[in-house]
């Protein structure tokens, strides 16, 4: 039996035992595709896997909200009201009032994301569907933290259990649903999440945050100040302790986690230059679920704790040139390690350098172009149960991109861009895009877009072998291709009335060459291929209404329809079931009320339709937060989480985590 929260097989009838047994007798490939597909899931569903000031909600006018500067759409600052993309911004004030205790919980605020909790610290997160495609977890979403990409080349997805920031230091999170590959690269297929932390200049002094409740406790400390007159710094440390969850029948899931993280940020600002240097380091332990043993040919092997650690450093320099153009240079180093006994250990080192230049050519053209080089060194310690072969791989990604914003008319703009990117598995990939934006009036924007993007193969697609010693049942994917997506979008963003704003996007994605399991020409083993295609069509919309000066309502809704088809002769009959991990619709409603100058009340209600795969029922949850400013430097908040009932969000019925009602109390002290 496969446990999705830990990423391993448990019990006596696991697919690995089966695979080993089949080496001594003939087996039927077609009837066991589903079993083998689950073998690789452990890698993708990890073990538990201009500045807006923070002010009172009533002080934020609709004009100010529209003037929030976003950078993820065109890779340079622009007003949210003018961004020709389906982009939702989670502000620092949204985060504070949400009562969320982790980054994935904060992302639930974005109505254009699907966020499903798989265990105490594991999540499956996607945009516009395929939240668990091809039995390998979501792998088409690019996530960045302060410009550093955190997707793993091991499986093209994100290990959410190790993505963490001090939430009090986040300035905003830009969530783009839809492709962004022209500017960000081959894995920005269905969306881009860009987490942007506050400048060190905005975090002077000390801050202590302490919280706890039924699900666990966390503590964080931050201190900031000045450096040599023209520089600013901050340092922080945080510790999170998460208690184990339970299944629907109240069986304890051994998925508790403990994690510590430290970091710093420094900023220097001069008239023509801005330089930022920041770094983080973390270490943690995660338990593997009960029953705590894996059976290999009748031999029980104990599962040890999963160990995770990592460190990263990012340097970013921006320089204003004469004539209004600007140049930026960013470089980062990221080291991550993950040990999952008894299946594999992985150590990955990544070095990434990017140069970008933006300038205007007359009054019609605004051009942005750049170069990017990424080098990865991956070392895997294999086991006899599962292997990446070769174990050690050095990979290179190089790309050249350019985008031209062409002013066709005073209120009409065409944005044309393209990226040429090279990877070691499929060679060169061409990623073009076209966007047309019409500013019908100062408060109304209509836009449309066409984009071609791809998900390049990962090590899981190309190098995965089961079992880890010859002869194998699954022997990688030496001929695997990139998954191709052609995306069409039509959107609107505007202020329908003085107190009402609204955004809506209709989209259609056509997928080709999606990954499948195929029978090798020899007929003696399986290999990865690309024999599935399909379509996803949907709508996403959200709006905000200022009911009273001190009361704001926000709502969001998505609807999605997907269809996938195998090529004739493909034996992977389980691949089209990927659509079963996506709800056909979601809805949310948020109420933010300033009761008095020192008291505020926030209520969030979310509804998610059922998941067809594994028969995960639909659910409705409610979170309530009461905030009390005890004094100028001391805040208390009490949060009721999932107050309606118990529910599950992802995975098989026998071992999926059930989310129970809980309370959380937090004290925030500004020193």
Side-chain-side CA neighbours of residue 251 (13 Å): 11
pLDDT greater than 70 at residue 19 = no
pLDDT score at 20? 31
pLDDT greater than 70 at residue 243 = yes
Angle made by CA atoms 626, 627, 633, in degrees to the nearest 5: 165
- Look up residue 80 and give its DSSP letter: G
When pLDDT is cut at 50, 70 and 90, the band that residue 248 belongs to is: confident
Angle made by CA atoms 439, 440, 441, in degrees to the nearest 5: 90
Distance from C-alpha of 173 to C-alpha of 170, rounded to nearest angstrom? 8
Pairing of strands 205-213, 114-117: unpaired
pLDDT score at 3? 40
Q: Which residue, among 165, 210, 217, has the nearest Cα to 636 in the 3D structure?
A: 210
| 480 compared with 27, residue with greater pLDDT | 480
pLDDT score at 49? 36
Which tens digits make up the pLDDT trace of 309-342? 999 999 999 999 988 899 999 999 999 999 999 8
Q: Which residue, among 490, 498, 504, has the nearest Cα to 443 in the 3D structure?
A: 498
pLDDT score at 570? 93
pLDDT greater than 60 at residue 145 = yes
Strands (E), 321-426: 326-340, 344-361, 365-381, 387-388, 392-409, 412-423
Query: Bridge partners of 521?
Result: none
When pLDDT is cut at 50, 70 and 90, the band that residue 45 belongs to is: very low
Which tens digits make up the pLDDT trace of 470-504? 889 999 999 999 999 999 999 999 999 989 999 99
Which tens digits make up the pLDDT trace of 280-293? 999 999 998 754 43
Which residue's structure tokens are 């090279």? 422
What is the average per-residue pLDDT within 159-176? 96
Distance from C-alpha of 493 to C-alpha of 512, rounded to nearest angstrom? 30
Q: Are 49 and 123 in contact (CB under 8 A)?
A: yes
pLDDT score at 209? 97
pLDDT score at 40? 43
Q: What are phi and psi of 181, to 5 degrees?
A: -70, -30
Model confidence, pTM: 0.91
State the fold for domain 2-670: Maltoporin; Chain A (2.40.170)
Q: What are phi and psi of 273, to 5 degrees?
A: -135, 145
Q: Which residue, among 639, 640, 671, has the nearest Cα to 96 in the 3D structure?
A: 639
When pLDDT is cut at 50, 70 and 90, the band that residue 25 belongs to is: very low
Angle made by CA atoms 279, 282, 288, in degrees to the nearest 5: 150
pLDDT greater than 80 at residue 610 = yes
> Which residues, at least 6 apart from 541, have a Cβ–Cβ distance to it below 8 Å?
111, 502, 503, 504, 505, 556, 557, 558
Distance from C-alpha of 202 to C-alpha of 169, rounded to nearest angstrom? 9
pLDDT greater than 70 at residue 563 = yes
| 447 compared with 247, residue with greater pLDDT | 447
pLDDT greater than 80 at residue 53 = no
Distance from C-alpha of 657 to C-alpha of 244, rounded to nearest angstrom? 9
When pLDDT is cut at 50, 70 and 90, the band that residue 162 belongs to is: very high
Q: Are 594 and 550 in contact (CB under 8 A)?
A: yes
What is the average per-residue pLDDT within 346-352? 98
Helix 29-39 vs helix 15-22: crossing angle, to nearest 10: 130
- Look up residue 18 and give its DSSP letter: H
Query: Bridge partners of 269?
Result: 274
State the virtual CA torsion across 626, 631, 634, 635 in degrees, nearest 10.
10
Q: Which of 68-77, 400-409, 437-446, 624-633 has the lowest mean pLDDT?
A: 68-77
Distance from C-alpha of 105 to C-alpha of 552, rounded to nearest angstrom? 21
When pLDDT is cut at 50, 70 and 90, the band that residue 194 belongs to is: very high
Q: Are 8 and 49 in contact (CB under 8 A)?
A: no
Side-chain-side CA neighbours of residue 558 (13 Å): 27
Question: Residues of 117-129 as b/e, b for ≥16 C-beta within 10 angstroms?
Answer: bbbbbbbbbbbbb
Q: How many CB atoms lie within 10 A of CB 439?
A: 19
- Look up residue 618 and give its DSSP letter: P
What is the average per-residue pLDDT within 94-109? 96
> Which residues, at least 6 apart from 362, have a Cβ–Cβ distance to it below 8 Å?
none
Helices (H), 431-555: 459-463
pLDDT score at 627? 98
When pLDDT is cut at 50, 70 and 90, the band that residue 644 belongs to is: confident
Sign of CA dihedral 419, 422, 423, 427: positive
For residue 58, the Cα-to-chain-centroid distance in whole angstroms is: 30
Which residue's structure tokens are 């300035």? 171
Distance from C-alpha of 501 to C-alpha of 299, rounded to nearest angstrom? 62
**3-state SS, residue 44:** helix
pLDDT score at 61? 58
Which tens digits make up the pLDDT trace of 508-534? 999 999 999 999 988 889 999 999 999
Q: Are 657 and 11 in contact (CB under 8 A)?
A: no
Q: Are 664 and 639 in contact (CB under 8 A)?
A: yes
């Amino acid at each position: 039996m496969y446990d999705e929260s830990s990423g391993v097989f448990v019990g006596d009838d696991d697919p690995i035992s089966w695979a080993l047994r089949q080496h001594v007798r003939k087996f039927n490939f077609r009837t066991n595709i589903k079993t083998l597909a689950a073998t690789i899931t452990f890698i993708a569903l990890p073990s538990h896997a201009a500045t807006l000031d923070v002010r009172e909600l009533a002080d934020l006018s609709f004009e100010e909200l529209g003037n929030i500067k976003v950078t993820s759409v065109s890779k340079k600052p622009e007003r949210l009201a003018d961004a020709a993309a389906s982009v939702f911004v989670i502000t620092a004030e949204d985060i504070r009032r949400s009562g969320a205790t982790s980054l994935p919980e904060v992302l639930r605020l974005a109505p254009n994301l699907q966020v499903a909790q798989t265990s105490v610290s594991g999540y499956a997160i996607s945009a516009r569907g395929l939240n668990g495609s091809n039995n390998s977890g979501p792998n088409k979403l690019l996530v960045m933290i302060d410009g550093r990409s955190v997707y793993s080349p091991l499986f093209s997805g994100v290990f959410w259990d190790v993505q963490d920031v001090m939430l009090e230091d986040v300035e905003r999170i830009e969530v783009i649903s839809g492709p962004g590959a022209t500017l960000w690269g081959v894995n920005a297929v269905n969306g881009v999440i860009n987490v942007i932390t506050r400048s060190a200049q905005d975090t002077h002094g000390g801050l202590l945050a302490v919280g706890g409740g039924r699900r666990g406790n966390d503590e964080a400390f931050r201190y900031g100040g000045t450096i040599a007159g023209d520089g600013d710094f901050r340092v922080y440390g945080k510790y999170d302790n998460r208690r184990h969850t339970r299944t629907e029948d109240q069986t304890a899931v051994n998925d508790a986690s403990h994690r510590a993280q430290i970091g710093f940020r420094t900023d220097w600002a001069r008239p023509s230059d801005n330089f930022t240097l920041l770094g983080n380091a973390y270490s943690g332990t995660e338990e593997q679920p009960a029953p705590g043993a894996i059976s290999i040919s009748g031999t029980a092997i104990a599962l040890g704790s999963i160990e995770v650690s990592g460190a990263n450093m990012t340097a970013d320099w921006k320089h204003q040139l004469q004539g209004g153009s600007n140049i930026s240079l960013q470089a980062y180093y990221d080291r991550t390690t993950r040990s999952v006994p008894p299946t594999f250990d992985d150590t990955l080192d990544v070095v990434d350098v990017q140069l970008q230049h933006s300038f205007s050519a007359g009054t019609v053209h605004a051009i942005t172009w750049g170069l990017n080089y990424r080098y990865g060194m991956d070392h895997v310690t294999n086991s006899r149960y599962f292997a990446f072969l070769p174990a050690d791989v050095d990979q290179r990604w190089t790309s050249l991109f350019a985008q031209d914003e062409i002013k066709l008319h005073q209120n009409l703009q065409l944005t044309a861009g393209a990226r040429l990117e090279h990877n070691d598995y499929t060679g060169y990939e061409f990623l073009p895009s076209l966007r047309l934006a019409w500013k019908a009036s100062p408060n109304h924007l209509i836009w449309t877009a066409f984009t071609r993007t791809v998900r390049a193969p990962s090590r899981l697609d190309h190098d995965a072998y089961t079992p880890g010693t010859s002869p194998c049942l699954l022997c990688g994917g030496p001929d695997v291709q990139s998954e191709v997506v052609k995306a069409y979008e039509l959107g609107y963003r505007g202020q329908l009335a003085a107190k009402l704003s609204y955004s809506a996007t209709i989209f259609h994605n056509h997928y080709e060459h999606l990954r499948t399991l195929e029978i090798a020409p020899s007929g003696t083993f399986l290999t990865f291929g690309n024999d599935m295609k399909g379509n996803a069509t949907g709508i996403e919309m959200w709006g905000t209404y200022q009911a009273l000066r001190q009361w704001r309502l926000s709502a969001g809704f998505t609807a999605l329809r997907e269809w996938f088809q195998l090529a004739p002769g493909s034996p992977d009959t389980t691949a089209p079931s990927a659509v079963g991990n996506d709800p056909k619709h979601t809805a949310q409603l948020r109420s933010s009320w300033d009761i008095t100058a020192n008291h505020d009340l926030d209520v969030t209600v979310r509804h998610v339709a059922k998941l067809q795969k594994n028969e995960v029922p639909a659910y409705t949850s409610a979170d309530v937060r009461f905030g009390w400013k005890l004094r100028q430097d001391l805040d208390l908040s009490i949060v009721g989480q999932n107050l309606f009932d118990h529910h599950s969000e992802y995975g098989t019925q026998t071992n999926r985590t059930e989310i129970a009602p809980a309370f959380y109390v937090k004290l925030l002290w500004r020193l």
